[in-house]
Chains A and B, each alone.
Chain A
Amino acid sequence: MRSYDVVIVGAGIAGMTAAIYVARAGKSVILLEERMHGGQIINTINIANWPAEPGISGAELSQKIYHQVNNLGVEVEYVKVLSVEESDEYLTEQDAKNAARRLFVVKTEDGDYTAKAVIVATGTEPRKLSESQMKDAGKRTVSYCATCDGAFFKGKPVVVVGSGNTARHEIAYLNNIASKVYHIHHDDPIPEDAVAVFVAIGRVPNTDAVKNIVDLDESGYIVAGENCKTSVPGIFVAGDCRVKDVRQLVTAAGDGAVAAAGVLAYLA
């Protein structure tokens, strides 16, 4: 089994920032990422509120942080984490006597890892269309990103599903491209002539892999205060998958630093 001081689940902005801190403190650390480093921000073309780099794209920001992580010698494995569990082993003999710190086992689609501490930075993903709307959409393109796919529907009618901020952004973007942009809410029927369905009905936390070990709130977010400590000592949380008020890049990065500091204190 592959063993590390710290396993970080998710290589978004939160996870990568945590890795920088942990690696700089001299601990062995690996990032396990299901899709691509960078996380949910990679499709955003223009970020206006990342300090020092107004207008940077999500892809460029992600790539820059990834290089920084890489240069520190942090390993990144592209694999989906299935669960995080407590093992029977303790970190030290003293821990065994006190029934204190246990080793964790992080199970993935491609083998297991052991870790003395774990940081969960799994973020959120778009909420999917309801089943009835999915049926309604049929063979039409269903997209969760207008800036990625909008250009394919130049001069054609499209529909945006959703009523929040993201939906408004998607509509504004598509208005410059499509011949008509319908706007419907979560459960409305999809207009006949729309050739593509753009979905913006909020996001849900990616916390399935840890739902059996740490406390979640009723929406599935991991319960932890600003100290990023979960209900299980040794498991920390960072970024958008944590219960919090402001889900932004800088707060995700901030969590990464706080969770890493928590881990270092826990391992000391």
Chain B
Amino acid sequence: MSKTVLMDFYADWCGPCQMMKPVLEEFEATHGDVEIKRVNIDEEEELADKYNVSTIPCFVLERDGVEVAREIGVMPLKKIEKMLEK
């Protein structure tokens, strides 16, 4: 089985990112098979650079280390779940 990781690029100063917290918690509760990696872009600048993130919130879905989907902005649970179809 492939390993699926959802990366959540955020910052403490980003209001919309705070809005995504409960959405991600709900996602986590219902998708135990997906690892969620929260990336604070101020603390992990190189990682944000590496992934070419220049606007947040930004969500990157990887399967076995390969990016398969990316979404930017505040969004409902349904849209994050849609990324899993990729």
Contacts and interface: CB of A to CB of B under 8 A. Distances in A.
B15 A35 contact: no
Contacts of A60: 15, 18
A267 interface: no
B76 interface: yes
Interface in A86-144: 141, 143
Interface string B49-86: 00001111000000000000000011110110000000
Contacts, number: 58
Nearest to A78: B76
Contact of A148 (B53, B55, B76): B55
A59 B79 contact: no
Contact of B55 (A35, A45, A58, A143): A143
Contacts of B54: 141, 149, 152, 196
Q: Which of under 10, 10 to 19, 20 to 34, or 35 or more describes the interface residues of A?
A: 20 to 34
B45 to A, nearest CB: 10
A233 B70 CA distance: 43
Nearest to A33: B76
B79 A78 contact: yes
Interface stretch (A17-25, A36-44, A206-214, A243-251): A36-44
A148 B16 contact: yes
A151 interface: yes
Given A60-B18, A63-B19, A148-B16, A42 B55 contact: no
A127 to B, nearest CB: 18
Nearest to A196: B54
A149 B56 CA distance: 7
Interface residues of B, number: 20
Contact of A43 (B15, B42, B79): B15
A151 B11 contact: yes
B78 A78 contact: yes
A143 B73 CA distance: 12
A59 B16 CA distance: 6
A38 B19 CA distance: 10
Contacts of A141: 54-55
A58 B15 contact: yes
Given A78-B79, A149-B55, A36 B13 contact: no
A45 B53 CA distance: 21
Contacts of B78: 78
11 contacts: A35-B73, A36-B76, A38-B19, A42-B16, A42-B19, A45-B15, A59-B15, A59-B19, A60-B18, A141-B55, A151-B13
Closest 7 CB pairs of A and B: A59-B15, A78-B76, A59-B19, A36-B74, A57-B15, A149-B55, A152-B54
Given A78-B78, A148-B55, 19 more contacts: A33-B76, A35-B74, A36-B73, A37-B76, A42-B16, A44-B15, A45-B13, A57-B15, A57-B18, A58-B15, A59-B18, A59-B19, A78-B76, A148-B56, A151-B11, A151-B13, A151-B41, A152-B54, A196-B54
